[in-house]
Amino acid sequence: MKDFNKKLAEKFFNDKCSPEEAEIVLEWLKTIEGQDYLQKEIEKELETDVTNQTKESVDITDVDSKILYKSIINKVRRLSFPSMKRTLFLRPLIQIAAAVSVFALTALFLIISPSEDETLSVNEPVIFTTGEDEQKNITLADGTKIRLNSLSKLTISSGYNSSERKVQLEGEAFFEVKREENTSFTIFTELAQVEVLGTSFNVKSLPGDRRVEVAVTDGRVLFKGNNDTLNRSVTLIEGAFGFWDEEYSELEVDHIGIENYLAWMSGRLIFDNLSLVNVCTQLQRIYGAECHFSTGRIKDLSLNAEIPNTSLENTISAIALSLNLEVTLRDGNLYWSKEN
């Protein structure tokens, strides 16, 4: 739409348009220029209200102007208000978009619902991403809470919470799933899937890695590989760690120190009288580093320590100091030996 007068858009969002003018604005909002304008309106409200944000509401969702536009247009066309009354909710909607905490489930669709009786469907998936050294807390409208680790991507499926609850994960996230008796919650990764009713657990599925890890802190989950020719599955209960290696078609379960698989959230690694060989199993799963021992006796040494989870280098230095060992990191491998 060429030569659109943006003053007409300002009139629209201030509820001063005629019905004919409103239709013109809605058509313009379909364009790239219009959706860019809508995004800037959201950012403007965010800047205006930032001083009023509470600590709990600082984590703002990345609002997609295309999705917001679709929610607006669908809502407008369903309403039967005469004349200008049908646009009265739009300015509050943009203010809410800039101020609320993350509601990934509906990407603001729940927010514009005027009553519990009206069900609004999600027409497109909603995507959350994190950069390096960035984490994101997400609360879905059904009460499910998700903490997304750095360099990760979470996709909320279209139609979420209507007849199914499905998400797609690339990277790592911790889930606290709200229990729904008749609707399971399923996490799909490239290599495996996890299905639950209500529980708390961590899922790690990094791009390019042929392994998927699940650590359960509460409740139980069903875990299986997508391409397992044996069609195996395991039920993981509280305190269990599940590990699927697609390259070797291995599905394993253990119950050793699962709190360390949550170290990206807690900031610490806890080893409670754990043998070095088991410590190294966790280091391999957490950091991808494989251990080698100069003698068989070294792997049986017992470690009792709490170590800040800052980096692999600092972690292995603290372990070596505790056990009077020397360690060398080379090409992703750890070489352990006795001190000279």
Domains of the chain (ranges plus CATH)? 1-101 (no CATH), 124-264 (2.60.120.1440), 267-338 (3.55.50.30)
Which pLDDT does position 25 carry in this prediction? Answer: 78
Alpha helices, DSSP H only, in the chain?
A: 6-13, 19-28, 32-49, 65-78, 90-99, 263-266, 276-287, 312-323
Which pLDDT does position 164 carry in this prediction? Answer: 81
Which pLDDT does position 9 carry in this prediction? Answer: 77
Among residues 55, 264, 310, 311, the alpha carbon closest in space to that of 147 is found at 264
Alpha-carbon span 7 to 269, nearest angstrom: 57
Which pLDDT does position 198 carry in this prediction? Answer: 81
Which pLDDT does position 44 carry in this prediction? Answer: 59
pLDDT by residue for the chain (340 residues), tens only, comes to: 656 777 887 777 776 777 777 778 777 777 777 777 776 666 555 444 433 433 333 343 444 444 455 545 544 444 333 333 333 344 444 443 443 333 333 333 333 232 233 222 345 788 999 999 899 999 988 889 999 999 999 999 887 876 789 999 999 999 999 988 888 899 999 999 999 978 999 999 999 899 999 999 999 999 999 999 899 999 999 999 999 999 999 999 999 889 999 999 999 999 999 999 999 999 999 998 999 999 999 999 999 999 999 999 999 999 999 999 999 999 999 999 997 6
Kindly report whether the global pTM for this prediction surpasses the value 0.75: no
Which pLDDT does position 244 carry in this prediction? Answer: 95
The pairing of beta strand 290-293 with beta strand 333-338: parallel
How many Cβ atoms are within 10 Å of 189's Cβ, its own excluded?
22
Alpha-carbon span 183 to 110, nearest angstrom: 18
Which pLDDT does position 57 carry in this prediction? Answer: 34
Which pLDDT does position 43 carry in this prediction? Answer: 56
